[in-house]
A and B are shown apart, each in its own frame.
Chain A
């Protein structure tokens, strides 16, 4: 579609002033601009206008009065969060899960994409790719139910491990806090591996074959080509995705944890998002939970900026 729109003939125009040039450019792109407008409008309506609601973090808001009528509360809600008994466990769980996810879950799709890229049989490659990203389309609600059954003391995992004599008696995995992080991280990787690899596979498809040919002539082997050709060529994509992943460290997968958590593994499963949900939606303390959400967003913004500037210094690649 892009191609056909780009093909609209542009009349060669006489040199004009800068602003006139811009106008002509815009005019020539008018159909594309209209399409962009929709996206911008969507963003303003759903991402920017609701930001007005952030001010309830500084107010004592209840459902009945309007946001503007609520009395100001200053930083009271922020202080209350810092004094909260659950603060340390919430932060530990959020950071723990996210960091391990980042360390293990971030490189895996790259490695997977690298290997997939090396496959000679196109049909096999496509099949693997499709199969590996299918789990992405299952919602966590469904997958959570499946996992709960598999991981229960009479579930398939226990049966398997028992029959292979790895364990002596069945373990109720979801009931043990010590297993919770590994379950969350590994099931997330299993579900999203293929999907996250797509973007790298796309980037690899853009690497010029000439480079590989040149490398072959220079006597590079398969792994050398992977390391010295493919990886450097997709470095930009990797860095950008890494910056974004770092800024998302305080986000944990809300749906996933909500369906997998229970009273027994609470000490390992209580993360910021769950806490905000519990306090805000279930207990109706909107101001307080907005304050917590805001703290989270601000920290995420700083993480993003730091990661961005570090990568700018080190590799000259950055988001902005």
Chain B
């Protein structure tokens, strides 16, 4: 019988399965290698910009350099933000800027995971002309240390001294690297001076919000104390067990990730909305302070645990990613949220259009036992993103000149207001948006971006203080949330850049600890009793100490002192 075994099929089976098996075996550990093997050895081709004649006709420091050459040029610009939906040259604003400066832009946006895309670009040494990414990204350090990006100060000295005229010296100094060079310029950044000038208008993103109609229906209770907080959630759940036929979710946070949850405590970025609401300081007497171990913080963590015990935390909030959360916000399924207000602005507009009473309003949320005002995170000097120019840039002179244009008042005005007569005009002696444009901006932001492209649709180098002179007053439903945060924020810039690099021993340990925290946090909230809670927390602390927490804190302390000293310089 064995002889009769169908050989053909066996061979076929063997080959197909071998091919699949080999492909599968090699797949998992070759992915990262395949991406970094090819170009690693190829020498960087000399930049064509070397031959540029710009060096010979150096413009004077007061003259905008970009006016000297407006011949057409197209730059590639990488954005480390997969969600960015817009293209340059579709809307009148970007067309206007291209007409004016000759610079056209091709935005490169990662299709999936940003880190993967950036890492593979770094590994292959194939960086586009401009790169914009969050200052907190590991990639910034990698590119600078790897010598893949141009020092902006050197470029400016050589080609465009005008840069120093328009750049904010405090921001330059803040981003000066140990080698004395500046590689990136931030957006949405506010120096201590800005804080003094504009501080009263500054807004924070961090809000505690409740659904207006429900909150009023249960008698607008005080939610600042643990008892009041739990009680309000309970009342809301009793009174509104269902929203549009689906169970209500009494309380929501930002999505849970590997390092915890930024609403409660995220160890990677050391960001915690809850700690800010409790007005816990990040340092005491010049020493970094471990906010998670503060008794006030523990009281509130236990309050959240209690909430879970009483069935007030739905399982969904641990599982849902941002997309699912946004869907639920638009349906109004959450009663209360500890959530950044700008992260649900679009959904808020949907609710507002359906019924102005069903929107989320900001109310006083969790507070410490003295019921002090929260100390929310405000704009900082680090800003949001930094923009770098790569060594592979097509034309160094044009690149730095365009950068200077973008951060100059003229560039800011062009990108904020757009072209005169199209999206803005001088009305009552003030340059402001035309009514049609303003209306569209307040109701449908993405349509506005496509149709006008103004109001910092292209935010890569936006200066969120300079635009205040042209900004229209905000309208409901956003206004209530914004107003609530006014006067409740502090600057925490000195804590921004203190994390150890991810591949150093401190960095590896710090990631381990933060992953352990991510796991511990869910266990803490799901603990059946306060005793179990204490045990889980003690286990976490033990693990934290085992993994070199002291060294990490020492590293951070040193960095913190450096930056605090730097900041002091600026406010003089």
A→B interface (CB under 8 Å) = 43, 46-47, 49-54, 56, 62-68, 85, 148, 152-154, 172, 174-175, 199, 202-203, 205-208, 211, 232-233, 235-237, 240-241, 244, 247-248, 251, 254, 262-264, 266-267, 273, 276, 278, 280-286, 289-290, 292-294, 296-297, 300, 316, 319
Residue B569, interface by CB 8 Å: no
Q: With A264-B319, A264-B522, A276-B28 given, is the CB distance from A64 to B148 under 8 Å?
A: yes
The residue in chain A whose Cβ has the minimal distance to the Cβ of B26 is A47
Interchain residue pairs with CB less than 8 A apart (22)? A47-B30, A49-B37, A51-B26, A53-B33, A62-B503, A64-B122, A152-B316, A175-B318, A203-B10, A240-B10, A248-B21, A248-B24, A248-B25, A254-B28, A263-B319, A278-B258, A280-B32, A282-B115, A282-B258, A284-B502, A285-B502, A293-B28
Residue B138, interface by CB 8 Å: yes
Q: Please, which residues of chain A bring their CB within 8 A of the CB of B16?
A: 199
Tell which of A46, A233, A284 touches B119, judged by Cβ atoms closer than 8 Å: A284
Q: Please, which residues of chain A bring their CB within 8 A of the CB of B147?
A: 64
Q: Is A203 touching B522 in the complex (CB atoms < 8 A)?
A: no
Residue B372, interface by CB 8 Å: no
Q: Is B21 touching A233 in the complex (CB atoms < 8 A)?
A: no
The residue in chain B whose Cβ has the minimal distance to the Cβ of A292 is B29
Q: Please, which residues of chain B bring their CB within 8 A of the CB of A264?
A: 315, 318-319, 522, 526
Other than the given A172-B315, A276-B29, A278-B258, 16 more pairs (CB < 8 A) read: A50-B33, A50-B34, A53-B30, A56-B33, A63-B142, A68-B41, A199-B17, A211-B1, A236-B10, A244-B21, A251-B25, A263-B319, A283-B508, A286-B36, A300-B25, A316-B2
Q: Is A284 touching B503 in the complex (CB atoms < 8 A)?
A: yes
Residue B13, interface by CB 8 Å: yes
Q: Is A237 touching B10 in the complex (CB atoms < 8 A)?
A: yes
Q: With A281-B116, A290-B32 given, is the CB distance from A211 to B10 under 8 Å?
A: no
- The size of the chain B interface, using a CB distance under 8 A, is 64
Residue B162, interface by CB 8 Å: no
Given the complex of chains A and B, what is the CA–CA distance between A232 and B8 in angstroms?
A: 17
B→A interface (CB under 8 Å) = 1-2, 4-6, 8-10, 12-14, 16-18, 21-26, 28-34, 36-37, 40-41, 113, 115-116, 119, 122-123, 138, 142, 145-148, 246-247, 256-258, 314-316, 318-319, 502-503, 508, 511-512, 516, 518-519, 522, 526, 543
CB distance from B560 to the nearest CB of A (A): 23
Q: Please, which residues of chain B bring their CB within 8 A of the CB of A244?
A: 17-18, 21
Given the complex of chains A and B, what is the CA–CA distance between A65 and B41 in angstroms?
A: 9
Given the complex of chains A and B, what is the CA–CA distance between A63 and B31 in angstroms?
A: 14
Q: Please, which residues of chain A bring their CB within 8 A of the CB of B12?
A: 202
Q: Is B508 touching A172 in the complex (CB atoms < 8 A)?
A: no
Given the complex of chains A and B, what is the CA–CA distance between A205 and B314 in angstroms?
A: 53
Q: Is A236 touching B5 in the complex (CB atoms < 8 A)?
A: yes
Q: Is B516 touching A85 in the complex (CB atoms < 8 A)?
A: yes
The 10 closest A-B pairs by CB, nearest first: A293-B29, A206-B6, A53-B33, A64-B146, A172-B315, A66-B40, A175-B315, A263-B256, A262-B319, A63-B123
The residue in chain B whose Cβ has the minimal distance to the Cβ of A320 is B14
Q: With A63-B123, A251-B28, A264-B522 given, is the CB distance from A206 to B14 under 8 Å?
A: no
Given the complex of chains A and B, what is the CA–CA distance between A52 and B138 in angstroms?
A: 26
Given the complex of chains A and B, what is the CA–CA distance between A232 and B5 in angstroms?
A: 9
Q: Please, which residues of chain B bring their CB within 8 A of the CB of A251?
A: 24-25, 28
Q: Please, which residues of chain B bring their CB within 8 A of the CB of A207?
A: 4, 6
Q: Please, which residues of chain B bring their CB within 8 A of the CB of A232?
A: 1
Q: Is A211 touching B4 in the complex (CB atoms < 8 A)?
A: yes
Q: Please, which residues of chain B bring their CB within 8 A of the CB of A290?
A: 29, 32-33
Q: Please, which residues of chain A bring their CB within 8 A of the CB of B148?
A: 64
Q: Is A233 touching B1 in the complex (CB atoms < 8 A)?
A: yes
Q: Please, which residues of chain A bring their CB within 8 A of the CB of B23?
A: 47
CB distance from A46 to the nearest CB of B (A): 8
Q: With A174-B319, A207-B6, A281-B115 given, is the CB distance from A50 to B37 under 8 Å?
A: yes
Q: Is B29 touching A263 in the complex (CB atoms < 8 A)?
A: no
The residue in chain B whose Cβ has the minimal distance to the Cβ of A42 is B19
Q: Is B116 touching A50 in the complex (CB atoms < 8 A)?
A: no
Given the complex of chains A and B, what is the CA–CA distance between A63 and B502 in angstroms?
A: 13
Given the complex of chains A and B, what is the CA–CA distance between A319 and B11 in angstroms?
A: 10
Given the complex of chains A and B, what is the CA–CA distance between A248 and B314 in angstroms?
A: 38
The residue in chain A whose Cβ has the minimal distance to the Cβ of B261 is A263
Q: Please, which residues of chain A bring their CB within 8 A of the CB of B519?
A: 263, 266-267
Q: Is A263 touching B115 in the complex (CB atoms < 8 A)?
A: no
Q: Please, which residues of chain A bring their CB within 8 A of the CB of B41?
A: 66, 68
The CB with the most chain A CB atoms within 10 A, among B29, B41, B257, is that of: B29
Given the complex of chains A and B, what is the CA–CA distance between A280 and B116 in angstroms?
A: 10
CB distance from B257 to the nearest CB of A (A): 7
CB distance from A1 to the nearest CB of B (A): 14
